[in-house]
């Protein structure tokens, strides 16, 4: 059952809201978005204004976030107020990674922010220095604290220059199998943490009867270009098996920012994974004992999907949850294209990222 609290600009709960309609879309290591329609006959609803937030709970499902838009509709019966916004991960989405987070932009003495170590440690260091308590005072996100690292995720690296903080953390977390958590505690703090995703392919088996897609790879050979010009540029080739689709599909990955073999190897592996075969499904989940979202499995977990006579193992990437007076409906997204993202969208995002990196050189 959904409980929806209104929080004033200082984070103090001011009472429960009773939405007429309620919907949230939760995403793996990305922004949860929400929309709630409220009746204007409620005194608490009439107090809502810019700076307020909401906190929603439904069993183990828990999220909070700032209201970003108010839409008022007034009619003879009193009218409604529709509020929408984003979860606490907006605190990462609203920051970029400084080459030297301890200094103002005009005093940067480094070309890039480079760090090696456990994936969890890198993520939490990035957040702490660019949005958390260790950030410059003007950049600190109010009430945000970062949990202590336990060294999860294996060793990796990052190299960033004025890129999105959320995207920089995603690049480290997703290959390492880590899930972001940002929740409010009793002290009105927003605690950023990570936890490992789970392989539940043997425990959770779902029958998909909705929109199911099985797409060929966009590449299985990638040439990564490091530093240098022309014939002197460092180039490395990485390949993956063609699989049942066949064909050799070549792509190029520009990493002119580094000549380090570890960084180039990582870029090659990430490019191959991103370009691999893409199985995805979007369907209404029949929740029951053993198949309840948020209890038996969660975002980032890998489950088994039965599509007719064929079985796929894929990661849970999104869940669109709609609450009504009789319960809730969960539309589950499994696989990288679960929200019907066009096939060209990752390429557009990649181009946007490259442009941003070039502009920040």
- Please give the Cα distance from 313 to 318 (Å, whole number): 15
pTM listed for this prediction: 0.84
DSSP single-letter state for residue 232? G
User: In the beta sheet, which residues pair with residue 108?
Assistant: none
pLDDT of 341: 45
pLDDT of 267: 84
List the chain domain ranges.
3-86, 92-196, 205-213+278-334, 217-276
Q: What averages of pLDDT result for each successive group of 10 residues across the chain (361 residues)?
A: 94 96 96 96 95 94 95 86 96 97 94 95 98 97 96 93 95 95 90 97 87 78 89 89 77 86 85 78 86 94 88 91 92 76 47 50 46
- How many other C-beta atoms are found inside a 10 Å radius of the C-beta of residue 308? 9
267 touches 321 (CB < 8 A): no
Q: What is the largest CA-CA distance in the chain?
A: 75
282 touches 250 (CB < 8 A): no
343 touches 337 (CB < 8 A): yes
pLDDT of 360: 44
- Please give the Cα distance from 326 to 331 (Å, whole number): 16
H helical segments located in the chain: 43-47, 90-93, 119-130, 165-176, 261-275, 345-359
Rg (CA), the chain: 22
- Please give the Cα distance from 61 to 163 (Å, whole number): 30
pLDDT of 338: 60
CATH number for 92-196: choose from 3.20.20, 2.30.30, 3.55.50, 1.10.287: 3.55.50
Take residue 242 and report the two structure tokens written for it.
Answer: 């063609």
Take residue 181 and report the two structure tokens written for it.
Answer: 């958590």
pLDDT of 273: 78
């Amino acid at each position: 059952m959904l409980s929806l609290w209104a929080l004033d600009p200082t984070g103090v709960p001011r009472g429960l809201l009773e939405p007429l309609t309620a919907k949230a879309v939760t995403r793996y290591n990305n922004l949860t978005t929400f929309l709630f329609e409220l009746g204007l006959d409620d005194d608490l609803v009439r107090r809502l204004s810019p700076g307020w937030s909401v906190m929603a709970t439904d069993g183990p499902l828990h999220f909070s976030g700032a209201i970003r838009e108010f839409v008022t509709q007034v009619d003879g019966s009193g009218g409604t107020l529709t509020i929408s916004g984003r979860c606490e991960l907006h605190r990462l989405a609203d920051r970029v990674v400084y080459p030297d987070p301890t200094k103002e932009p005009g005093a940067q003495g480094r070309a890039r922010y480079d760090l090696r170590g456990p994936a969890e440690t890198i993520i939490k260091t990035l957040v702490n220095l660019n949005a958390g308590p260790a950030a410059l005072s003007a950049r600190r996100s109010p009430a945000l604290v970062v949990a202590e690292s336990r060294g999860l995720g294996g060793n990796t690296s990052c190299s960033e220059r004025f890129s999105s903080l959320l995207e920089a953390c995603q690049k480290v977390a997703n290959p390492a199998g880590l899930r972001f958590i940002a929740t409010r505690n009793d002290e009105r703090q927003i605690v950023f943490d990570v936890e490992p995703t789970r392989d539940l392919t043997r425990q959770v088996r779902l029958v998909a009867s909705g929109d199911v897609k099985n797409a060929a790879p966009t590449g299985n050979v990638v040439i990564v270009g490091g530093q240098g010009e022309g014939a002197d540029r460092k180039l490395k080739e990485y390949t993956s098996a063609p699989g049942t689709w066949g064909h050799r599909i070549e792509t190029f990955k520009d990493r002119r920012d580094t000549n380090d073999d570890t960084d180039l190897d990582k870029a090659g592996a990430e490019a191959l994974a991103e370009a691999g075969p893409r199985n995805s499904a979007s369907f209404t989940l029949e929740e029951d004992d053993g198949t309840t979202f948020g209890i038996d499995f969660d975002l980032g977990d890998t489950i088994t999907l039965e599509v007719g006579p064929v079985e796929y193992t894929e990661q849970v990437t999104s869940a669109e949850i709609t609450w009504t007076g009789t319960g809730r409906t969960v539309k589950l997204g499994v696989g990288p294209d679960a929200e019907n993202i066009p096939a060209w969208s990752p390429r557009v995002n990649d181009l946007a990222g490259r442009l941003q990196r070039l502009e920040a050189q």
